[in-house]
Amino acid sequence: MANTIKITACDNELILIAYQSGSSFELCRILSGYNNSVNISVNIYNGQFQGTLLLDGINPGNSLSGTYNIALAKGQYSLIGLGIDWGGPQAFAFSLNGSAAGFIATGGADGLVSYTKPIVLTV
């Protein structure tokens, strides 16, 4: 089954983790700020996990875009997003196969400021 994660907002740090019984995988760590635009597609395909996708767009005017591929072994996972803010404005948005992930605010001004409930991801 083809899966695409579309990331459209990140201020300051978005971490996406896929987990299942006995293991977890940090799929990506996106760094951005200064209202920089973010337009990233991540295709998840069946294969051996090779490591975390790290994209650093934190400097002013440093927009992030592109399409990337991440392998995960076949199976069912729970996908979660963690939104971390270093102070100032906060913005986080991603979708899985066109369905937006709903973020839950922690009420904090910085640190872990939002997260998602687990989303089913089948590879």
pLDDT of residue 1: 58
Q: Report d(CA 64, CA 81) in Å as an integer.
A: 18
pLDDT digits (tens, 9 = 90+) for 43-96: 999 999 999 999 999 999 999 999 999 999 999 999 999 999 999 889 999 999
Q: Are strands 76-85 and 119-122 parallel, antiparallel or unpaired?
A: antiparallel
Domain count, the chain: 1
Domain range for 64: 3-122
pLDDT of residue 2: 84
pLDDT of residue 96: 98
Residue with tokens 């937006």: 100
Arithmetic mean of pLDDT over the chain: 96
User: Which residue, 8, 9, 28, is CA-closest to 17?
Assistant: 28
